[in-house]
Amino acid sequence: MSATITSQTPESGTDLIGSGQDGGVRDQVTAYIQRVRSGDMGSLPAVAGFIVLCVLFTTLSPFFLTERNFANLLTQAATLVMLAMALVFVILLGEIDLSAGVTSGVALSIFVVLSNPGGIAMNWILALLISLATGLAIGLFIGFFVAKVGIPSFVVTLGLFLGFQGLQLIIIGDGGLYRIQQPQILAIQNSNLPTWGGWVMLGVILAIALTTALLDRRRRARAGVPSRAIVLLWIRLAAIALIGGVVIALLNQNRGTGFLAVSGVPIVVPITLVILWMGTFVLDRTKFGRYIYAVGGNAEAARRAGIKVIGIKWAAFAVCSTLAVVSGIFSASKVGSVDAAFGRDIVLSGVAAAVVGGVSLFGGRGRLINAAIGALVIAVITNGLGLLNLPGGVNFLVTGGVLILAATVDAVSRVRAGGSIMRR
Amino acid sequence: MDTPIIELTDVVKSFGPVSVLKGVSLKIYAGKITALVGDNGAGKSTLIKGLAGVQPYDEGEVRFDGELVALHNPREASRLGIEVVYQDLALCDNLDIVQNMFLGREEMEHGTFDEGRMEREASETLRSLSVRTVKSVRQKVSSLSGGQRQTVAIARSVLKSATVVILDEPTAALGVAQTEQVLALVQRLAERGVAVLMISHNLVDVFQVADYINVLYLGQMVASIETAKTTSDDVVGYITGSKTYSETSA
């Protein structure tokens, strides 16, 4: 606090420069429309695309909008959602990690070899921790070459992408395949919360959203700056309750085909939501997160502001690789096995998911939720086209088309707003 | 004349065999605008980098408020309240005004940002500088004009009790109206008691706001004059080396 500043400013909050939080609901809505028009669309195009695709596939296939397919879609998407969220941490820096998929492959290969009951038979929790630590170590390894040595991340991770395929082959053995033997790992994607569990989950989400919003408002009030009209908070909570309620109600229907009833929210959903919430908290409210955005926006400015740019990059790669291993765990749980090609093909879909969701490859712009929504869009395409019995090639064509379309919408909106594409 | 807030005496800086500053002396006073002019390669940037602690001087004395100080790194400079606004502004386009002003020194509470407090302080700082061109402190910097960006960069420098603000070419690449705004802002800085060191190529700007003019020529301070006691022609002469300044001719 500077004495020279405070001495000159009268103690009234009324003539503070606008903060974007002031005004009634109408002002807020106008301001939002203004932001969208000026090219700051966030995940709006992805959400719109998601809805359009869902409507399209519902009309084209009688199987799309069924409880069974809906749950299927979520578990299919989980791996990609997690990987896209992992990649956000490095994409925000304007970097890339092409080895995220094979990193999860190496880590999971180590897990299955260590935990395999017929082999080393290590305690599976210990093996899982070693697997996650492997991801962390790989991230630190990449971060060393990118941040410290100064090699472009594209080159470093491309090298690892090639090298780790070989490493995986050596760990697993030629043509080998290990089945996942731990019911706890398999449960992540194949078991569900009890029906009441889903409602408890929704209640917890609403409670957290309400508490953080109220704490924020109290903090702002204490500082003497305006908060948004409280009715906007109620609208937001109502929207979460409505969408969450519909999703949980759908998932709580019996979707079993045989005699066994299958219902409830897949366990992978709350796990993903917790990681999404924690990651968003870190990115929005802590120095580490803010500095990731700053380094991605203008690394030189960040350096001059006293930010340790090298450390931030290093840490971001470590987070990315560790979360990539989590995505690998989801995948292993879904597939039920790990082979020498595990995780090889998914990484570019992860990058595509982030871009479709509105995360800028130039760095500095995008949020975890954007990547998650982008991943859902890509998962819906795969799922829907699969139901239509179209040849496999169509899936890739459509996904690629959507990616280019998303990037075009982003670029055009920015050019119209007067900014150049490269600057942001 | 009171003690200068910063007094450089015979500072020397060389890069290998190339000596860039060959014994430069400079005085900067609180509440005054001191201009530093000179042609490209005269050593202006090297001089301010030394003051910012980015590239320490090889030899010479630096006195802060009469006390001998060492400026070996940026932290020591910022502890004394020396802030530099670089020519390329060093703002993050993707962050908003508050986030930029507090970058690297965010107000925290329980390990998370105290956004309300930062918003208020940013707003108050801008208002104390009579900034009227900014609508909202939560605007992204990418949406600001060149003059507004300069305003934010300057406001950032005085957010935390700055005693000395060094401005590197604050009006370069600005339009006429925006130049006026920024110059007015520079004057308000000085009125608040901040010592301003302004590097500029634009002599019209210099003569409009500066109290003192210092001319660097090939690593030597060839003239240190009160603005009122010189003319634009003379200063051009000192800059190009075609005229020599002596105390008697002033």
Confidence band (pLDDT; 50, 70, 90) for B90? confident
Domains of chain B, by residue range, sit at 6-92+162-249
Distance CA A91, CA A94 (A): 5
**Does B128 contact A8 at a Cβ distance shorter than 8 Å?**
yes
What average pLDDT score do residues B60-66 get? 89
| 8 A C-beta contact, residue A305 and residue B104 | yes
DSSP A256: -
Distance CA B202, CA B195 (A): 20
Q: How far is A219 from chain B (nearest CA, A)?
A: 6
pTM comes to: 0.89
Please check the confidence at residue A361 and state whether its pLDDT lies above 80.
yes
| 8 A C-beta contact, residue A41 and residue A34 | no
Comparing B86 with A284, which gets the higher pLDDT? A284
Q: How many CB atoms lie within 10 A of CB A159?
A: 15
**Together in a domain, A287 and A209:** no
Give Cα separations from B193 to A10, A235, B158, B250 (angstroms): 19, 49, 11, 27
User: CATH number for the domain including A346?
Assistant: 1.10.3470
**Together in a domain, A187 and A205:** no
What average pLDDT score do residues A280-286 get? 95
Kindly state whether A19 is in contact with chain B, defined as any CB-CB distance less than 8 angstroms: yes
**Together in a domain, A96 and A69:** yes
The verdict on residue A140 lying in a domain is yes
For residue B104, give the nearest of A4, A297, A305 by CB distance. A305
Scan for tokens 């004057």, then name that residue.
B187
**Together in a domain, A359 and A294:** yes
- Render pLDDT for B141-150 as a digit per residue (tens, 0 to 9): 888 888 888 8
Please check the confidence at residue B2 and state whether its pLDDT lies above 80.
no
**Together in a domain, A159 and A297:** yes
Interface test with A, best of B55, B91, B123 (most A CBs within 10 A): B123
In this prediction, residue A12 carries a pLDDT of 42
- Render pLDDT for A162-214 as a digit per residue (tens, 0 to 9): 999 999 999 998 778 999 999 999 999 999 999 999 999 999 999 999 999 99
Q: How many CB atoms lie within 10 A of CB B68?
A: 10
In this prediction, residue A67 carries a pLDDT of 85
Is the ipTM beyond the 0.90 threshold?
no
Provide the number of structural domains found in chain A.
Answer: 2
- Render pLDDT for B182-202 as a digit per residue (tens, 0 to 9): 898 899 889 888 999 999 888
Residues of B within 8 A of A34 (CB-CB) are none
Please check the confidence at residue A106 and state whether its pLDDT lies above 90.
yes
**Together in a domain, A172 and A243:** no
Return residues 255-314 of A near B (CB < 8 Å): 281, 285-287, 290, 293-294, 296-298, 300-302, 304-307
Distance CA A417, CA A35 (A): 10
Q: Which of A233-242, A383-392, B204-213 has the weakest average pLDDT?
A: A383-392
In this prediction, residue A5 carries a pLDDT of 38
The DSSP element (H or E) to which B217 belongs, if any, is strand B212-217
**Does B124 contact A16 at a Cβ distance shorter than 8 Å?**
yes
Return residues 78-107 of A near B (CB < 8 Å): none
**Does A19 contact B88 at a Cβ distance shorter than 8 Å?**
no
**Does A5 contact B128 at a Cβ distance shorter than 8 Å?**
yes
**Does A301 contact B103 at a Cβ distance shorter than 8 Å?**
yes
- Find out if CATH 3.40.50.300 is the number for domain B6-92+162-249: yes
| 8 A C-beta contact, residue A100 and residue A94 | no
Please check the confidence at residue A410 and state whether its pLDDT lies above 80.
no
Domain residue limits at A164 = 44-191+266-416
Give Cα separations from A294 to A7, A72, A308 (angstroms): 31, 38, 11
Please check the confidence at residue B173 and state whether its pLDDT lies above 50.
yes
In this prediction, residue A9 carries a pLDDT of 39
